């Protein structure tokens, strides 16, 4: 369990977006809005016209900020909080490069609106480290060479962490099924599965 930290980061005036960023986030936001339905009610502007204020605990740190209803969690993590370990890939919920844990469960941050994470605990790949030391899953990926270009690796690591929290001792078939939501364009699946298997041993 992550240690609760008292630091509170407040952002009342979020930075502007480029046209390319706008097109990327508004598309994902529209998809997310059609999927979550009533959850978007919390994202409406208040009577003063201000943007909704959310409180998200990321890697144990509480961040209070105003967000636009269309902003994805992926955008907030990378562009507002500077946590660039979470990668944008397809931004359509297909590749898994943007996987984070929300209350311990793997989720695609490109399809999760920031307002959905209000009051939730988010863990990114940076949050799996112990200070400057790699966590067990990260160590296993290094030891088994579970990467090639490395772009999908952070999402693979977080997905593996979520899998091992649910099932600390998975079979190889359970690992294949559990990691099926994360794609590797280099095709390093054999090494990825071995990495997860080794991580299970290291976590013990």
Q: How far apart are CA 199 and CA 170, in angstroms?
A: 11
Return the pLDDT at 47.
56
Q: Where are the domains of the chain?
A: 8-126, 136-203
Nearest to 100 by CA among 138, 119, 74: 74
Helix (H, G, I), strand (E, B) or coil at 165: helix
Length, in residues, of the chain: 204
> What pTM does this model have?
0.78
- In contact, 188 and 125? CB cutoff 8 Å: no
Return the pLDDT at 78.
98
Return the pLDDT at 3.
44
User: ∠ at Cα 109 (104, 110), nearest 5°?
Assistant: 160
Pairing relation of β-strands 105-108 and 121-123? unpaired
Q: How far apart are CA 126 and CA 134, in angstroms?
A: 9
Assigned token pair, 54: 């959310």
Return the pLDDT at 51.
94
Return the pLDDT at 121.
98
As assigned by CATH, the class of the 8-126 domain is alpha beta
Nearest to 21 by CA among 106, 91, 81, 85: 91
Cα torsion for 67, 106, 157, 14, to the nearest 10°?
0
Helix (H, G, I), strand (E, B) or coil at 122: strand
Dmax of the chain from CA atoms?
Answer: 55
- Do the two domains 8-126 and 136-203 of this chain adopt the same fold? no
As assigned by CATH, the class of the 136-203 domain is mainly alpha
Per-residue pLDDT of the chain (204 residues; tens, 9 = 90+): 444 454 444 544 344 444 444 344 444 444 443 343 333 334 455 556 789 999 999 999 999 999 999 999 999 999 999 999 999 999 999 999 999 999 999 999 999 999 999 999 999 999 999 999 999 999 999 999 999 999 999 999 999 999 999 999 999 999 999 999 999 999 999 999 999 999 999 998
């Amino acid at each position: 369990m992550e240690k609760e930290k008292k630091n509170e980061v407040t952002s009342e005036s979020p930075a502007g977006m480029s046209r390319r960023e706008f097109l990327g986030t508004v598309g994902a936001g529209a998809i997310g809005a059609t999927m979550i339905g009533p959850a978007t009610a919390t994202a409406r502007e208040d009577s003063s016209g201000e943007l909704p204020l959310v409180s998200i605990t990321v890697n144990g740190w509480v961040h209070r900020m105003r967000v636009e209803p269309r902003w994805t969690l992926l955008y907030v993590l990378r562009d507002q909080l500077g946590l660039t370990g979470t990668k944008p890939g397809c931004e359509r919920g297909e590749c898994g490069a943007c996987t984070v844990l929300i209350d311990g469960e793997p989720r695609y941050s490109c399809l999760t609106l920031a307002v959905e994470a209000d009051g939730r605990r988010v863990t990114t790949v940076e949050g799996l480290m112990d200070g400057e030391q790699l966590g067990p899953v990260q160590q296993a990926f290094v030891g088994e060479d579970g990467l090639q270009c490395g772009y999908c690796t952070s999402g693979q690591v977080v997905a593996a962490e979520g899998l091992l929290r649910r099932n600390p001792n998975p079979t190889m078939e359970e690992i294949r099924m559990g990691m099926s939501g994360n794609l590797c364009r280099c095709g390093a699946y054999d090494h990825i599965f071995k990495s997860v298997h080794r991580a299970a041993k290291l976590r013990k």
